[in-house]
Chain A
Amino acid sequence: MGVRRPIRKETAGAPGLVSYLRGALEIKVVERVTSPPGRTNITGMDSVSSSPGVTQGSFAQRSLDLDRWMERYQQADPDAPRALIGAVSPALLRFFRSQWDSREQADDLLQETWMRIHRVRHTYRSGEPVLPWIYAIARRVRVDGYRKRRRISLHETAVEVLPELPIRVEQPDPLPEFETLIAVLPESQREVLTLLKVAGLNLEEVARATSSTVGSVKQKAHRAYERLRKVLQTRPEAELREEANGLP
């Protein structure tokens, strides 16, 4: 039906767009919370029926479950770290990946983040949202990781012959990658947009995670949107029209 650009992990552009908007408008299509085999499902704690791979609960409910798991983690419940790691790590990894870290570096940062979370777990306060707490720590780990890499790169010498990179065989995507797209933004705007879109935090939570105010987050996001709109406007109009044909 003329849908030229299938969004990854989506069946078609138009339904994907609608579901994206639903997510953005907090009628969130909840991220799948599936348990690896033999692990406790985080929603299972409240006796919510669950089966792997099924979208379940509301975003708020999931967030509440994470808060409860965090409290149990503080009480040394052996299931708690497993549940938290399983539920939060994919989003954390996406957070690191979307900020220009390689897969290997993102894995390292993920491990370092959990180690720090473990060290300062007593600072989580019952009743407070756990995700801003986690992302505030992850953000700091990313900054430290960046500084460390920069220092190492200053002492490195370039080799004359670079290894040949494997050729990526992928479906051509007319839209730039998320990381490429947001790379045009200043660091602070990129971070806010990543936390909003990739980590799925709301304005209040992003403000908490970045130690700033809601007004400042809103302003940065608006500026980021404006800038991205300008960038995307430079794309040929014909291309946009073809995409429009794919809409219902």
Chain B
Amino acid sequence: MDCRDVDRALLEGGGIAQLQDVQDHLRSCGHCRTLAQALDPRRVEAAPSSDTLRHIEQSLAADLRAVQPMWPLSYFFTAFAGIFVLIVSFGAYRMGTFAISVMSPLQAAAILCALAASAGLLAYSLVHQMVPGSRQRVSPQPLPAGIMVFLLLIVAGLFQIQQDPKFWAHGWACLSVGTPFALFAAVPFWFLLRRGAVLSPRLTGAATGLLSGLVGTSVLEVHCPNLDALHIVTWHLGVSLLGATTGLGIGFLAERSARRRQNDPSA
């Protein structure tokens, strides 16, 4: 057993036999022994005063009411996914599915699957962000940026850059179609999020904004027959980026206002 094995044993646990091995190693290795002793949690002395504990107990007891525990996370996931599909379907019905008829089956399948997978991942991450201490299989911090990069690569791989003489005019038209759908989706998403406890408003705001933006992007991918890669990246994915940025901004403001309320309870 070497020093790395000791680290591993301390982290992952083990049986009595392993404990014996660790002890043997510690007898011969001064550095491991010092490390183990230095990290002894009992060296941190702290016990709350009885006054503090009593004060907390009284505060909690004063407002003690039975609460209904949250629904299972699968319900929330279904709700997020349902809202996404419903609004995209409504958008496709309302605006028309012109893009599907001009795209090849591979292009249509790939872009729609990529959008669905991205939305699914975001919804999964969001429902876990609503519950503190949830098991995260995908780290939520890099997820929004990761999804944007993934979609960028998919679009770059599927579509070619073409000369679009009305780049700005077409782009503005797409932005004005996609953004209202994103806003429309953000409202029910926000109501769902209110059922949980959002610990990091900035992170959750960015993820929710991106999910809302993906609704707008999906509507555009079904509706807009312009297959110029530059147009899709700038204006279709731009709706998602706009959503994520707005969500991040709202999260930032929410954090700031919560801090102000905390500092000034009368406000």
With A86-B53, A247-B27 as contacts: A7 and B59 at CB distance below 8 Å: no
Residue interface bits A118-151, CB-to-B below 8 A is 1, else 0 = 1111111110110111111100100010011000
Q: Which residues of B contact A148 (CB under 8 A)?
A: 259, 262-263
Q: Which residues of B contact A204 (CB under 8 A)?
A: 135
| A94 near B69: Cβ-Cβ < 8 Å | no
Which residue of the partner chain, among B36, B139, B259, contacts A211 with CB atoms under 8 Å?
A: B139
Residue interface bits B209-249, CB-to-A below 8 A is 1, else 0 = 00000000000000000000000000000000000000000
Residue interface bits B143-159, CB-to-A below 8 A is 1, else 0 = 00000000000000000
Which residue of the partner chain, among A7, A111, A179, contacts B42 with CB atoms under 8 Å?
A: A7
- B-side interface residues, number (CB < 8 Å): 77
Which residue of the partner chain, among B7, B23, B38, B68, contacts A178 with CB atoms under 8 Å?
A: B38
Q: Which residues of B contact A17 (CB under 8 A)?
A: 26, 33, 36-37, 40
| Bound complex: CA A75 to CA B36 (Å) | 42
Q: Which residues of B contact A171 (CB under 8 A)?
A: none
Smallest CB gap from A240: residue in B: B30
Give chain B interface residues in 62-112, CB to chain A under 8 Å. Answer: 63-70, 72-73
Binds B, one of A40-48, A50-58, A77-85, A157-165: A77-85
Which residue of the partner chain, among A16, A24, A78, A247, contacts B10 with CB atoms under 8 Å?
A: A24
| B60 near A114: Cβ-Cβ < 8 Å | yes
Q: Which residues of A contact B50 (CB under 8 A)?
A: 36
Which residue of the partner chain, among A5, A78, A136, A203, contacts B199 with CB atoms under 8 Å?
A: A136
With A85-B56, A133-B132 as contacts: A90 and B48 at CB distance below 8 Å: yes
| B135 near A235: Cβ-Cβ < 8 Å | no
| A111 near B55: Cβ-Cβ < 8 Å | yes
| B60 near A175: Cβ-Cβ < 8 Å | no
| Bound complex: CA A7 to CA B41 (Å) | 11
| A243 near B33: Cβ-Cβ < 8 Å | yes
Give chain B interface residues in 242-267, CB to chain A under 8 Å. Answer: 258-259, 262-263
With A17-B33, A22-B19, A115-B59 as contacts: A136 and B13 at CB distance below 8 Å: no
What is the CB-to-nearest-CB distance from A246 to chain B, in angstroms, rounded to a whole number?
A: 10
| Bound complex: CA A82 to CA B61 (Å) | 9
For A112, A120, A218, A233, the residue with the greatest tally of chain B CB atoms inside 10 Å of its CB is: A120
With A124-B69, A202-B13, A244-B30 as contacts: A89 and B60 at CB distance below 8 Å: no
Q: Which residues of B contact A94 (CB under 8 A)?
A: 41, 44, 46
| B46 near A106: Cβ-Cβ < 8 Å | yes
What is the CB-to-nearest-CB distance from B254 to chain A, in angstroms, rounded to a whole number?
A: 12
What is the CB-to-nearest-CB distance from A141 to chain B, in angstroms, rounded to a whole number?
A: 9
| A144 near B130: Cβ-Cβ < 8 Å | no
| B139 near A178: Cβ-Cβ < 8 Å | no
| Bound complex: CA A82 to CA B59 (Å) | 11
Which residue of the partner chain, among A21, A98, A198, contacts B36 with CB atoms under 8 Å?
A: A21
Any A CB within 8 A of the CB of B197: yes
With A8-B42, A123-B130 as contacts: A21 and B47 at CB distance below 8 Å: no
Q: Which residues of B contact A187 (CB under 8 A)?
A: none
Smallest CB gap from B68: residue in A: A122
With A25-B14, A203-B12, A209-B133 as contacts: A178 and B44 at CB distance below 8 Å: yes
Any A CB within 8 A of the CB of B49: yes
Q: Which residues of B contact A27 (CB under 8 A)?
A: 16, 19
Residue positions of A touching B, CB distance < 8 A: 5, 7-10, 13, 16-18, 20-27, 36, 74-76, 78, 81-82, 85-86, 89-90, 93-94, 96-98, 103, 106-107, 110-112, 114-115, 118-126, 128-129, 131-137, 140, 144, 147-148, 175-179, 181, 193, 196-198, 200, 202-205, 207-209, 211-213, 216, 218, 221-222, 225-226, 228-229, 232-233, 235, 237, 240-241, 243-244, 247
Q: Would you give 25 A-B contacts (Cβ < 8 Å), ordered by A? A: A9-B45, A16-B42, A17-B40, A21-B22, A24-B9, A25-B15, A74-B67, A75-B66, A85-B53, A85-B57, A93-B47, A119-B197, A129-B133, A134-B133, A144-B259, A148-B259, A179-B44, A197-B41, A211-B129, A211-B139, A218-B11, A225-B10, A228-B39, A243-B37, A244-B30
14 further contact pairs, Cβ within 8 A, besides A76-B66, A137-B197? A20-B42, A25-B18, A110-B52, A111-B56, A114-B56, A123-B70, A136-B132, A175-B34, A207-B136, A211-B139, A229-B32, A232-B34, A243-B37, A244-B30
Residue positions of B touching A, CB distance < 8 A: 3, 7, 9-16, 18-19, 22-23, 26-27, 30-50, 52-53, 55-57, 59-61, 63-70, 72-73, 128-141, 196-197, 199-200, 258-259, 262-263
The 7 closest A-B pairs by CB, nearest first: A133-B133, A132-B133, A120-B197, A240-B30, A136-B132, A26-B13, A122-B67
